[in-house]
Amino acid sequence: MQNLAFTHNQLSAIYDWDSVALVPEPALVGSASMMHPIDALLERPDPLPTLAQLDGFLADHEAVRGAPFSDHEQEVLAAGQ
């Protein structure tokens, strides 16, 4: 229960206090884009995402946020990868 948040009796967030950080959105998205396809239970020799997976993750995120990242935000995002 300590890693769950509820809003109006519905689960609204799952977090790990060991990983909580306050960072700019592009830095977080850059980091998440590198980890989203990794599954430690699959023993693949190279678990890192392909360029197509990175591009797809970023495109999906921009679509949901409703705006593309600015040039400066893209630099921060790339540093997070």
Q: What is the pLDDT of residue 59?
A: 95
Q: Where are the domains of the chain?
A: 21-80
C-alpha atoms less than 13 angstroms from C-alpha of 1 in its C-beta half-sphere:
0
Nearest CA-CA partner of 33 in 67, 57, 7, 61? 57
Rounded Cα distance between 81 and 30, Å, is 5
Q: What is the pLDDT of residues 9-50, one digit of tens each?
A: 999 988 877 777 888 999 999 988 988 777 767 776 777 888
Q: For position 35, what pLDDT does the model report?
A: 82
How would residue 67 be classed by pLDDT, with cut points 50, 70 and 90? very high
Neighbours of 36 (CB within 10 A): 13
Q: Residue 66 pLDDT more than 80?
A: yes
pLDDT (0 to 100) of residue 58: 94
Specify the pTM: 0.67
